[in-house]
Amino acid sequence: MKHLLSIADLSPTEIHSLLELTDHMVEINHRPIPKVPALRGKNVVSLFFEDSTRTRTSFDTAAKRLSADTMNFAVSSSSVNKGESLRDTVETIAAMGVDAFVIRHKSSGAPQMITRWTNASIVNAGDGWHQHPTQALLDSYTIRTGLNRRDGFDGLHIAIVGDIKHSRVARSDVQAFTALGARVTLVAPPTLLPPSIALLGGHDWPVDVSYDLDAVLPDVDVLYLLRVQRERMDDALLPSLEEYSAMYGLDARRAARLAPHALVMHPGPMNRGVEMVVDPAELPGSAILNQVTNGVAVRMAVLFTLLGSGSDLRGDA
């Protein structure tokens, strides 16, 4: 594996192996000194052309725990603001000696394009509405450990609720969850579904669709809430946020109808009072902070798979 651009590029076996390697990274993260020399001498550069807190710091932490050198490049303080092209930016930094670029970009396909301009490995940390593969891996890992499903998700029912249309997380999660064997139901108002799904009839997503959260709730093993992405909506897709919240928000009444074992997940950042009306700290099934913790371990597994050389995970840094 040279790049991680999309979940669609991974076979179920490759997803399972990454999740197994993540177990090992979790064990490293529990040590008193959570650091190994596996990627010593490797240079991992984050290029984030879109705002991010958790994904950028998560990759940075992951690279440091494997002893890689890291560099963060924030567009707000870069020559991109002087009119430099994406290609010139990448080629300039690559010329300093880079082993992997972690890329977030508002345009779908930008990470794929960058693979043509450098020999470094490319990790997609979110491109437009398209893909966010490490999010799908950390979500899969959280379900795997949270519901004790090491062998796969056969028989699990996962509902993904909310702004599916603009969500790279939903696209990646659907691919990962179904590859592992789960049944996925998308729950959203028609205006927040991708047009191919909203217009009734044939679509090629391997999912069920419902407009009615209350009907789906009692049957799910995982309730995955998405953020309403107001910054990506260029027209009025919702009558109002209050109305969205009344139909699709997780309030105490809805939370009480979940099965006792069900997990509640969210990729963050959360809109409290919109999709998340209850305080998640009061939900027994909330796995939201586990997702964040697992994100570091999953990204360690990804970076090690792309840049490591087999046997050097042992030892202390």
Whichever of 149 and 227 has its CB closer to ligand NCD, that residue is 227
CB 64 within 8 A of CB 40: no
From the list 13, 30, 53, 82, the catalytic residue is 82
Q: Collapse the DSSP code of 90 into the 3-class scheme (helix H, G, I; strand E, B; otherwise coil) and give the result.
A: helix
Sheet with 208-210, side-by-side order of all strands: 208-210, 183-187, 157-161, 222-225, 263-265
Beta-carbon contacts of 151 under 8 Å, excluding residues fewer than 6 positions away, are none
Residue 268 interacts with ligand NCD (CB under 6 A)?
yes
Sheet with 69-74, side-by-side order of all strands: 69-74, 43-48, 100-105, 121-127
Q: Which of residues 157-176 bind ligand NCD (CB under 6 A)?
A: 168-169
Active site residue 104: yes
Q: How far is the CB of 144 from ligand NCD (least distance, A)?
A: 19
How far is residue 94's CA from residue 45's CA, in Å, rounded to a whole number?
9
How many CB atoms within 10 Å of residue 185? Answer: 18
Measured CA to CA in angstroms, residue 284 lies from 97, 109, 147, 255 at distances of 47, 38, 13, 10
Q: Which of residues 29-68 bind ligand NCD (CB under 6 A)?
A: 54-55
Active site residue 55: yes
Q: How far is the CB of 92 from ligand NCD (least distance, A)?
A: 26
* Cα torsion 212, 266, 52, 107: sign: negative
Whichever of 109 and 268 has its CB closer to ligand NCD, that residue is 268
Q: How far is the CB of 66 from ligand NCD (least distance, A)?
A: 21
DSSP 260: T
Whichever of 38 and 62 has its CB closer to ligand NCD, that residue is 62
Active site residue 82: yes
For the chain, how many helices (H) and strands (E)? 11, 9
Residue 135 interacts with ligand NCD (CB under 6 A)?
yes
Whichever of 51 and 91 has its CB closer to ligand NCD, that residue is 51
How far is residue 203's CA from residue 171's CA, in Å, rounded to a whole number?
14
Q: How far is the CB of 96 from ligand NCD (least distance, A)?
A: 27
Phi and psi at 92, nearest 5°, equal -65, -50
Q: How far is the CB of 286 from ligand NCD (least distance, A)?
A: 16
From the list 64, 104, 168, 266, the catalytic residue is 104
Residue 290 interacts with ligand NCD (CB under 6 A)?
no
Whichever of 21 and 138 has its CB closer to ligand NCD, that residue is 138
Which residue's CB atom is positioned nearest to ligand NCD? 227
From the list 22, 55, 70, 185, the catalytic residue is 55
Sole binder of ligand NCD in the list 16, 64, 105, 132 (CB under 6 A): 132
Whichever of 22 and 167 has its CB closer to ligand NCD, that residue is 167
Q: Which of residues 226-265 bind ligand NCD (CB under 6 A)?
A: 227, 229
Extract the tokens encoding 101: 């670029």
Q: How far is the CB of 303 from ligand NCD (least distance, A)?
A: 17
**Cβ burial, residue 23 (10 Å; 0-12/13-18/19+):** middle
Note the residues at the interface with ligand NCD (CB under 6 A): 54-55, 126, 132, 135, 168-169, 227, 229, 267-268
- Name the residues annotated as catalytic: 54-55, 82, 104, 132
